[in-house]
Structure 1
Amino acid sequence: MNRRALLSLGALAPLAAQTQAQAQPRWSPDAPVRLIVPFAPGGSQDVLGRLLAQAAGPILGQTVVVENRAGAGGVLGAEAVARAAPDGLTILLATAGQLTIARAVGRRLPYDPLADFAPVLHLSDSPVALLAAPQLNLADTQALLGMARNAAQPMPYASTGIGTNTHLIMEDLKARERLNIEHVPYRGAAAAFNDLAAGRIALMFVSVPSVLAATGAQFKLLGVTSRERFPAIPEVPTLIEAGVKDFEASIWTGLSAPRGTPAPIVDRLAEAFRAAMATDLVRTRLGGLGVTPNGDGSAAFASLLRDDLERWTRVAAPLDIRLD
């Protein structure tokens, strides 16, 4: 065979490989897909998971079954996915509570929150809201920050638990703004709302879904931690607008698969669940759930996880949090 013929064959080889790859059908699940929701039924994450499962099933051509695996702050559910076969048939509705914050606050985890999962899709974001006791008669965020900086005694603030988003976000604000405040953890938002209304608690961060659901609760809503104003409460400014430079925080939700899940499966899952987020079934419910869609793919979601872990590790380091 002469040199010209060899060169021609060399030029055709990449084209043949590309044609073969294009001819391969997209991955399609051959059995129902289990979406592990690491929370009990009824909460906003569970509702979101069920909406997505209902919308994504027809897109994937297979039923998506929600399986609630609550316990240990969501760690049990995440562990089930980390140990599952990397075949696309078991996926996790992931939050920081099982991945980044869990590692940042020193929880003993039966998995590596970054290495043992394949990031699929950054589904959505929900800001938290800054609330103040009505008795403080504060006009805005800057008035609260000024009061907290100059307080003779530490002002008590509530969180929904030690090592939670609401705890670490307030500690981040405390460090940045040099606030004289002290932590009072609660088991959820309801009891904290009662003490805030009574003035026993001065301030707190709480999820926007909790604010939207708190009919009749007494508090002063000062700001939200999103970069843009939240559509369901457009009259409430962001903390950035209120003068807290670059202060942004989100309770994000993502989709993760077991480590080693092949890229075509990851891509197909991302495509299907991104399309599910855009359906009328899901889109019309997002505002009421206190979330906004995101849609960033695997690489961007992986970057978010690394950045989130670095931020909350830095915030948690001086707090000496002990959970186990």
Structure 2
Amino acid sequence: MPAPRPTRRALLASALALPALGGPAFGQGWSPDRPVRLVVPFAPGGSQDVLGRLFAQAVTATVGQNVVVENRAGAGGLLGAEAVAKAAPDGTTLLLATAGQLTIAKAIGRRLSYDPIADFAPILHISDSPVALIAAPNLPVQDLPGLLALARAAPQPMPYASTGIGTNTHLIMEDLKARERLNIEHVPYRGAAAAFNDLMAGRIAMMFVSVPSVLGFSGGQLRVMGVTSRTRFPAVAQVPTLIEGGVPDFEASIWTGLVAPAGTPPAAVARWGDAFRQALESAPVKTRLAALGAVPNGADAAAFGALLRADLARWTRVAAPLAIRLD
């Protein structure tokens, strides 16, 4: 007797029970089934590009699939972030992000085609790099408390430099200015080199710069007054923190993190978090991070998401009275 023919409903139920063809099976032990894009939103050759290629090489060995760096430079990293925000949330597109794309841009009122919180899935807080506060050599001060006291009592605003309007170094100084009631005014530069020259000549009084910029400055004449890490930074361990210098809870970091498009399945987020954290703990990555003036972080997706929200709130508060217009 021939077997009964399956009903249309039974065929449909069987089809729905099978994994979809042509895409990754997001489940326990998920792995990508095609090359993965790690978007670096800056041009080749910079520190973020170096970091991206280092991670791509380390993670490729872990996941058993090629992780390829794709440089999407432009608009301070916003073009690369936009490309990832609009990519399919299938676990094969990642963004090596900084605050410039995910918190500062929105805080200073840039016109964005994406929401930096809602349109991304946080994966991992990769690293932190504090900035250092340096002072002109002609100022009559010896330490951070002296510098802050001088700036509070100045009869005329003391000029301070930044590496550009709306940058980390601008907003961090404005936050310090508001907290400590400093009489200082902003002088933006296109980069650190010209600002260094004016600082050494006494034309500006102070500035925040990255630790690698301090370490790379020749001549040894910079007066480093403090760093913005919570504890002393290994590369300049002789320099006190701003907290030690009397500014309660003042901490700031130029951080790097990993995100994917919103809607990326949790299995893929967990897999990438594990793979990049494993790379972060390797000796070659730690050594390179140290050379770039950064320290590993490794906070998970939930903690990194909380940082993004706190960072956005902080810089929005700092930027609000500045009326920054860049677009």
Q: What TM-score comes out, normalization by structure 1 length?
A: 0.91
Partner of 2:33: 30
Q: Could you tell me how far 1:212 is from its partner in structure 2?
A: 2.0
Partner of 1:210: 213
- The residue identity in structure 2 corresponding to 1:251 is I
How far apart are the structure 2 equivalents of 1:53 and 1:189?
29
Q: Could you tell me how far 1:265 is from its partner in structure 2?
A: 0.1
Uncovered stretches (5+) of structure 2, i.e. residues with no partner: 1-26
1:79 partnered with 2:86: no
Runs of 4+ in 1 over 4 A off after TM superposition: none
Query: How many residues align structurally?
Result: 301
- The residue identity in structure 2 corresponding to 1:275 is Q
> Is the contact between residue 193 and residue 217 of structure 1 (CA under 8 Å) also seen in structure 2?
no
Q: Could you tell me how far 1:137 is from its partner in structure 2?
A: 4.3
Q: Could you tell me how far 1:217 is from its partner in structure 2?
A: 6.2
1:99 partnered with 2:111: no
Q: Could you tell me how far 1:252 is from its partner in structure 2?
A: 0.8
How far apart are the structure 1 equivalents of 2:280 and 2:70?
19
> Is the contact between residue 28 and residue 267 of structure 2 (CA under 8 Å) also seen in structure 1?
no
Q: Could you tell me how far 1:215 is from its partner in structure 2?
A: 2.5
How far apart are the structure 2 equivalents of 1:210 and 1:53?
26
1:146 partnered with 2:144: no
Identity of aligned residues (%): 74
How far apart are the structure 1 equivalents of 2:46 and 2:193?
14
Partner of 2:277: 274
Q: Could you tell me how far 1:95 is from its partner in structure 2?
A: 0.7
3-state SS in 2 of match to 1:97? helix
1:291 partnered with 2:291: no
- The residue identity in structure 2 corresponding to 1:88 is G
> Is the contact between residue 126 and residue 296 of structure 2 (CA under 8 Å) also seen in structure 1?
yes
1:135 partnered with 2:138: yes
Q: Deviation per CA, 1:92-124, whole angstroms, max 9, x where unpaired?
A: 001110011110000000100000000010001
Partner of 1:200: 203
Partner of 1:164: 167
How far apart are the structure 1 equivalents of 2:203 and 2:88?
50
> Is the contact between residue 128 and residue 224 of structure 1 (CA under 8 Å) also seen in structure 2?
yes
- The residue identity in structure 2 corresponding to 1:262 is P
Q: Deviation per CA, 1:275-314, whole angstroms, max 9, x where unpaired?
A: 0011111011221111011111111111000000000000
3-state SS in 2 of match to 1:99? helix
Partner of 1:232: 235
Uncovered stretches (5+) of structure 1, i.e. residues with no partner: 1-23
> Is the contact between residue 212 and residue 288 of structure 1 (CA under 8 Å) also seen in structure 2?
no
3-state SS in 1 of match to 2:159? strand
Partner of 1:18: none
Partner of 1:261: 264
Partner of 2:249: 246
3-state SS in 1 of match to 2:296? strand
> Is the contact between residue 214 and residue 222 of structure 2 (CA under 8 Å) also seen in structure 1?
no
Q: Could you tell me how far 1:188 is from its partner in structure 2?
A: 1.5
RMSD across aligned C-alpha pairs, in angstroms? 1.1
Q: What TM-score comes out, normalization by structure 2 length?
A: 0.90
Q: Deviation per CA, 1:221-243, whole angstroms, max 9, x where unpaired?
A: 11100001101111011000111
3-state SS in 2 of match to 1:40? coil
Q: Deviation per CA, 1:199-219, whole angstroms, max 9, x where unpaired?
A: 111100011122222233642
Partner of 2:23: none
Aligned residue runs from structure 1 range 53-132, under 5 A: 53-132=56-135
3-state SS in 1 of match to 2:126? strand
Q: Could you tell me how far 1:154 is from its partner in structure 2?
A: 0.5
